[in-house]
Amino acid sequence: MSVEYDKETDTLLIKLKDVDKLDYAEEIGNAIVHFKDGEVVEIEILNASKVLCKEYLRLIPTIIFP
């Protein structure tokens, strides 16, 4: 599992499992949930600084998504 925050896009990505290719994704409120074989493998939180505590985001290394 890994957690990455992109300050430029204000997106938090939680990777629960590394997979080569995702099957599909569903947008649920401020989140996009990615699936592989019916299992949740990634969760993207959009507008993370508005949804999550800013102190929490400071603990996560800031990176740029590829």
Beta strand segments in the chain, E: 2-6, 11-15, 24-28, 31-36, 39-45
pLDDT surpassing 60 at residue 15: yes
- Tell which residue, 17, 15, 20, 22, has the closest CA to residue 60: 15
pLDDT in tens, 34-59: 999 999 999 999 998 888 776 666 66
pLDDT surpassing 80 at residue 33: yes
Higher pLDDT, 19 or 5: 19
